[in-house]
Amino acid sequence: MATVIPEEILASMRAAAKLEWPGDRDMQEWMLENELSAYRAIHDLDFGAANSVREAIMREADEFSETWEDRSTIVLAEVEAFNALQALQPEDVPAELVADLKRRAAAEEDRYEHQLEEVNGGIEHYRYVQRTRAAVAPRRDLMVRMERILGSECYNDNIQNYSSWGAWEGEGRSFRYPVTFVRDGRTEKRRQRTDDLAAEELITGHYKFGANDLSVYRALMKIIDMLETDYRLDLAAGAPRGSDR
Q: Return the domain boundaries, the chain.
A: 7-131, 139-237
Q: How confident is the model at residue 237 (pLDDT cuts 50, 70, 90)?
A: confident
CB atoms within 10 A of CB 205: 24
Residue 243 has pLDDT above 50, yes or no: no
Q: What pTM did the predictor assign?
A: 0.80
Average pLDDT over residues 148-166: 76
Higher pLDDT, 166 or 43: 43
Q: For residues 71 and 66, what is the distance between their CA atoms, to the nearest angstrom?
A: 7
Cα(179)–Cα(181) distance, integer angstroms = 6
Q: Is 154 helix (H, G, I), strand (E, B) or coil?
A: strand
pLDDT, tens digit, for every residue of 14-66?
Answer: 999 999 999 999 999 999 999 999 999 999 999 999 999 999 999 999 999 99
Residues in the chain: 245
Cα separation, 219 vs 153, in Å, equals 17
Q: Is the pLDDT of residue 3 over 90?
A: no
The pLDDT of residue 242 is 47
